[in-house]
Amino acid sequence: MFNNRMRQSVLVLFSAFLLVLLSACSSDQGEQDPSPTASATPAQASPNEAEGNSGNGSTYTVDEQPGTVFYEIFVRAFYDTDGDGIGDLNGVTAKLDYLQELGIGGIWLMPINSSPSYHGYDVTDYYGINPEYGTMDDFKRLLDEAHKRDIKIVMDLVVNHSSSEHPWFKDAIANTDSPYRSWYSILPADESVRTDNAAGSGSPWHTAGSSKYLGIFWGGMPDLNFDEPKVREELINIGRYWLEQGVDGFRLDAAKHIYGDFSSTVNTKEVQAANKAWWQEFRRGLNEVNPNAYLIGEVWDSTAVIGPYFDQALNSAFNFDLAGRLLGAASGESDPDLGYSLGRVHAFYEQSSGGAFLDAPFLSNHDQNRVMTVLNGNADHAKMAAAMLLTLPGTPYLYYGEEIGMKGAKPDEYIREPMLWYADPAGGEGQTTWESSRHNTGADAVSVEAQQQDEQSLLNHYRKLIGWRNAEPALQNGAIGEYKLDAANSKLSLYVRAVKDDRVLVVHNLSGELQQAELKTSSDYGEFAKLIHATSGEASLEGGKLRLPPYSTVIIR
Ligand SMILES: [Ca+2]
Ligand SMILES: [Ca+2]
C-alpha cells in the first residue's frame, strides 16, 4: 500500500468546462505564488498519468490516495498487561482485535524508545525500547500480530533533538574535545546569539557551566546539529534499524524545526530548503532498506508551508489547517465547502510532489485539546466531525479515546489520560492508572464497554463510517470534488469522492433540523440516484428529492 505510486492522478476526460476554467486563469498564473490560497487552478493530472476516456460527456479528475484509517496510541495510557498500571506494548497487542473491529489499518505509536520523561519525546537510546513498555521481543510480537491483521505499525521518531540525558549530549557538554560536541549547537555562554524561539516562548539557549546550548523546546531536549554529517548518517542508521525490525514507517516529530530554530527565520526559503534536503536524504537512505517505507511528518503549519515537503521528502503530512475547519464546521453547523477547498489544496500538493502525496486529515492529536472538550460535550457535533473526517481523502488519523468521546484539556498530561475500557469507574483488568484522570472520571465517564452495547454510541458511529469507507473504494481512495446545489444550503455539506471507475456523493446534514435538497445531474460526475449508506433509517432519496434527518450522513451513488 505505501508504494511510491501512492497517489495516481488520472484525467478521465478533459471537459469543456475544465478547459474554460483553465484558460480563464492561465493568463495570471505567471506571477502567482503556487500556494492553495493563490492558485485558482483545478486539479490537473500529471502528464505521465493522464488517461483519456470514455466519452459519455461527464468528466472528472481522479487523484487516488490509499485512504487507510490510522489510530494514534499513547502506549502508557492504553492497556496494561503486567499489573503496574502503565500501558505497555503487550497491551497494544492485546487490543489489536478491538482496533481491527473498529476498522483501522494502521497504528501510530507515540515514542517507545528509552526516555526519562513520561511522554518519551526526549530519547536516551534510539535503539532501545522503553523498559516500562516492554522488550524488543514484545515489540516484534506486536509487529507480527498487527501484520497478520493487515495493520501497519508506524513509530514516532524524534530526531530534531535528543534527551539531555542521552550519552551523546552528556559527553558533548562535559568535554570540549568530545567527538559529540559538534552533534549539538554548543557555544561559550557569553557569545552573542539570536534568541527568538521558533517553538515557543523564551530563549532557546540554555546555560551549562561556561557553555550554552540550543534546545528550542526545553532544556531537556537539546537540538541536534544537522550540519554535522555524522548526525545525519546516524539518524539514517537508526531509521534503517527499525525498518529492519519490521516497522512500516515513521511519524517524524517536529519536521519543520530541523533547521527552523528561530521565529525570525523558521519560514525562510533557506530554512525550508535545508529541512527538505535533510528529509530527502533521510528518505533515500531508508528506501535502500525498504522502498515502501512510509514517512509522515509533523509540519505544524499551513498547507502552503507543507506542500514543498512532498517533493521526494515526506510521503504524507498531517493537515493541521483542516482539523480546525472540521471542528468549526461541526460546532457551527455550517458547510466548510470541503470539495472546493480541499480540491485546491490537493492540486497544490500535486504540483509540489510531482503527483505522489498523501494527505492526512485528523481532528485532534496528543498536543491538542480533545475533540469532545472542544465541542463542549455535544455528542451530535462529535458525530458530524467524525463523519466528515472519515469521508475525506487520505489517511484519517484518530487519537485514542476519540472514538468513545473522551474529554481532555491542557496541560498536556490531561489530554493523555488513561483509555477507559470499563463501564465500572473502578476499572478492571488492563485499565491503566499512569495518572489520575481529571476529565474522564466518575459514573458518567464514557467507556468502550458501555458504548459497545449501545447501537447509537459514538464508538458504533465510528465503526459504521469506517466500515463504509473500507467497503467503497471511491470513499476510501477517491479524489474529492465539488457538488453544488441549485439552491445553496449552508446546513448541508456535499462533496464527491471519485476513483477512476466509480464516484459517490457524500451529504452531511450538520444541523439539528430536517433538511431537504433537490439533486441535479452533475456536469462533471453525472447522476446520483441511489442511496447506498445512511446513518439514519429516516433518510430518503426519491426522484432526486433528498430528505436528511438532523445530524445525519448519507452516501449516494
Ligand atoms: Ca504495564
Ligand atoms: Ca532544530
Q: What is the pLDDT of residue 428?
A: 97
In 320-369, DSSP assigns E strands to 358-360
Q: Which ligand is nearest to the CA of 83?
A: 1
The Å distance, Cα 92 to ligand 1 centre, comes to 11
Whose atoms come closest to the Cα of 254: which ligand? 2
- The Å distance, Cα 141 to ligand 1 centre, comes to 16
- Cα–Cα distances in angstroms (integers) from residue 342 to residues 121, 291, 305, 339, in the given order: 31, 29, 15, 6
Cis peptide before 179 (omega within 30 of 0): no
State the distance from the centre of ligand 1 to the C-alpha of 74, rounded, in angstroms.
13
Q: Is the pTM of this model over 0.75?
A: yes
Q: List pLDDT tens digits, range 230-273.
A: 999 999 999 999 999 999 999 999 999 999 999 999 999 999 99
* 47 — pLDDT class (breaks 50, 70, 90): very low
Q: Residue 24 pLDDT more than 50? A: no
The pLDDT, as a whole number, for residue 468 is 98
How far, in Å, CA of 18 to CA of 13, rounded?
A: 10
Residue 31 pLDDT more than 80?
Answer: no
Q: Report the 10 Å Cβ neighbour count for 269.
A: 8
Residue 395, all three cell numbers: 489517511
SS3 459: helix
> Nearest CA to 374 among 29, 196, 365?
365
User: Rounded mean pLDDT of the chain?
Assistant: 91
Does 63 have pLDDT greater than 90? no
* Ligand number with the minimum distance to the CA of 86: 1
Please state the rounded mean pLDDT for residues 197-220: 95
Tell me the mean pLDDT in the region 7-36.
36
Reported as a pLDDT band with limits 50, 70 and 90, residue 9 is very low
Q: Does 253 qualify as catalytic in the annotation?
A: yes
Query: Would you state the pLDDT for residue 58?
Result: 61
State the pLDDT at residue 200.
82
Residue 114 predicted with pLDDT over 60 = yes
| Active-site annotation holder among 80, 261, 298, 321 | 298
State the pLDDT at residue 60.
76
User: 486-528 pLDDT, tens per residue?
Assistant: 999 999 999 999 999 999 999 999 999 999 999 999 989 999 9
More confident call, 3 vs 484: 484
3-state helix, strand, coil in the chain (%, to 5): 30, 20, 50
**Mean pLDDT computed over 333-341:** 97
Residue 53 has pLDDT above 50, yes or no: no
Looking at residue 449, what is its pLDDT? 98
What's the pLDDT at 443? 85
Q: Which ligand is nearest to the CA of 226?
A: 2
| Strands 294-297, 205-208: pairing kind | unpaired
Residue pair 66/79 in contact by the 8 Å Cβ criterion: no
Catalytic annotation, pick one of 253, 261, 335, 359:
253
**Interior angle at CA 16, CA 12 and CA 22, nearest 5:** 90
Taking the CA of residue 264 as centre, how many other CA atoms within 13 Å lie in the half-sphere pointing to its CB? 6
What residue spans define the domains of the chain?
167-214, 228-316
* Dist. CA 104 → ligand 2 center (Å): 33
Task: Examine the pLDDT at 33 and tell me if it is beyond 60.
Answer: no
Sequence-separated (6 or more) residues with CB below 8 Å from residue 494: 335, 339, 483, 484, 485, 505, 506, 507, 508, 517
> Quick check: 45 pLDDT over 70?
no
How far, in Å, from the CA of 539 to the mean position of ligand 2? 52
**pLDDT one-digit tens code per residue, 166-178:** 999 999 999 999 9
Q: 22 vs 414, which has greater pLDDT?
A: 414
How many CB atoms are located within 10 Å of the residue 24 CB?
10
- Tens digits of per-residue pLDDT, 442-457? 888 999 999 999 999 9
Q: How close is the Cα of 122 to the center of ligand 2, in Å? A: 13
Tell me if 474 sits within 8 A of 499, measured CB to CB.
yes
Ion ligand 2 nearby residues (CB, 5 A): 160, 223, 257, 261
What is the Å distance from ligand 2's center to 38 Cα? 30
